[in-house]
């Protein structure tokens, strides 16, 4: 099943990479988790030699900084309840629970299964993990409900770059709804992540930061199954305006005090590099969002996913209903693979009148089908207005309906 999650959700392997890079720089909690899960170092990167070594170093500094910043923001927020979405494999649960926080992590089912094992082995089973798709308000609300009463700090790191605008809108709406009901804040470094990666890369690569940023972007694109999308916003001010429309007040806080954060990766830098990194980061911000009164608590309703199959010779019709997202998309891919095995199916039609929503994970599955079957042998039928708008916004209408 992990293979299906990797195909439909490209962030799956980057979550592993975050853990292995933290482990490589000596983070003891990461080493313990990596040992429990048996992960290899920095998987699936198509770079070799000196370039690989430098990319790994830049990545390690960036990841350690992001991890430390996230923990500092959570501590400064002052709320004892933490909802970590998408939590990945970082040791944040152990770090926070050792300091008396209540913690719930949400991610793909495969990640949750792994981290539940880690919780049992390293945290006496006290850290809670739940399958969550951030675009699904019901799943976000269910995860938040596992925390005790009181304000919540939502932590979200390394996810925004993988979302198209419709997915980001759904996620922000869901976060705003939780904060409107519970109080608290949402903290993240994601809205300026390219900036701090570039600042670090410039300092340690003799001014070749743009080259390494493009190199990382090319690695990400190889993992998106051709479902890449244009940046959702033109600049930071457009991001702020968008968040305000969603009912969130925005504070942007400069990254300061890097020299006092005890980052192991900075020890290997020259004093000149450390000064350059610290100076550049002071021009970059972490973002803190709080409810401003415009957001409303979510009207959660059950909205699962169902597939009904119909066969006519070598033609397969799949009737889809509910939400096709990062949790349910592997189910669709598995159904297609089972039916299309050994060339038994030559034509596939997806009947979408009952489909309420599709995320980029669902679009990737459709693209896999399209490529395997060939043009003219894959079609969408009865595309409703909601799904049609998503196809147009992402450009997939030109692929499937053009």
Residue-wise DSSP of 106-126: EE-HHHHHHHHHHHHHHSTT-
pLDDT at 225: 46
**What is the value of pTM for the model shown?**
0.88
- What are the strands, taking DSSP E only, across 22-115? 81-85, 102-107
pLDDT at 226: 47
Question: Which domains does the chain possess?
Answer: 2-291 (3.40.50.150), 305-400 (3.30.750.24)
pLDDT at 98: 93
pLDDT at 127: 93
In this structure, what token pair is assigned to residue 128?
Answer: 């809670």
Q: What is the mean pLDDT of each run of 10 residues along the chain (402 residues)?
A: 65 76 89 85 56 81 92 96 94 94 93 92 92 93 96 93 86 94 95 88 82 68 51 84 93 91 89 90 94 61 81 91 92 89 82 93 91 89 92 87 72
Sign of the four-CA dihedral 11, 63, 85, 283: negative
Distance CA 90, CA 115 (A): 9
Rg (C-alpha) for the chain, rounded Å, is 21
pLDDT at 197: 86
Whether residue 56 has a cis bond before it, omega within 30° of 0: no
pLDDT at 227: 45
pLDDT at 303: 65
């Amino acid at each position: 099943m992990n293979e299906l999650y990797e195909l439909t959700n490209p962030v799956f392997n980057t979550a592993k990479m975050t853990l292995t890079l933290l482990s490589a720089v000596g983070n003891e909690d990461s080493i313990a988790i990596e040992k429990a899960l048996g992960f290899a170092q920095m998987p699936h990167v198509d770079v070799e030699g000196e370039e690989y070594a430098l990319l790994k170093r830049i990545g390690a500094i960036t990841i350690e900084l992001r991890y430390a910043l996230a923990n500092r923001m959570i501590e400064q927020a002052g709320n004892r309840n933490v909802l970590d979405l998408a939590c990945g494999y970082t040791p944040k649960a152990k770090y926070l629970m050792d300091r008396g926080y209540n913690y719930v992590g949400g991610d793909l089912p495969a990640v949750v299964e792994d981290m539940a094992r880690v919780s049992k082995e390293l945290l006496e089973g006290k850290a809670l993990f739940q399958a969550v798709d951030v675009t699904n308000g019901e799943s976000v609300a269910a995860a938040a409900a596992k925390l005790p009463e009181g304000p919540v700090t939502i932590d979200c790191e390394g996810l925004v770059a993988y979302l198209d605008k419709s997915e980001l809108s759904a996620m922000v709406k869901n976060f705003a709804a939780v904060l409107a009901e519970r109080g608290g804040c949402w903290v993240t470094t994601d809205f300026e992540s390219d900036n701090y990666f570039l600042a670090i890369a410039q300092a340690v690569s003799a001014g070749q930061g743009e080259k390494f940023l493009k190199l990382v972007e090319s690695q990400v694109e190889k993992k998106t199954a051709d479902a890449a999308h244009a940046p959702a916003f033109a600049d930071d001010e457009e991001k702020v305006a968008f968040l305000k429309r969603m009912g969130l007040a925005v504070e942007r806080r400069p990254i300061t005090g890097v020299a006092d954060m005890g980052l192991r990766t900075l020890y290997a830098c020259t004093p000149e590099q450390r000064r350059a990194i610290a100076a550049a980061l002071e021009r970059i911000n972490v973002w803190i969002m709080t409810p401003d009164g415009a957001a409303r608590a979510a009207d959660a309703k059950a909205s699962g996913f169902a597939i009904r199959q119909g066969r006519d010779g070598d033609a397969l019709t799949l009737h889809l209903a509910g939400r096709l997202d990062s949790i349910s998309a592997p189910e669709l891919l598995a159904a297609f693979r089972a039916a299309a095995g050994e060339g038994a199916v030559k034509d596939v039609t997806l009947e979408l009148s009952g489909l309420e929503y599709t995320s980029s994970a669902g679009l990737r599955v459709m693209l896999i089908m399209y490529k395997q079957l060939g043009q003219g042998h894959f079609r969408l039928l009865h595309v409703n207005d909601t799904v049609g708008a998503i196809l147009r916004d992402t450009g997939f209408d030109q692929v499937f309906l053009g």
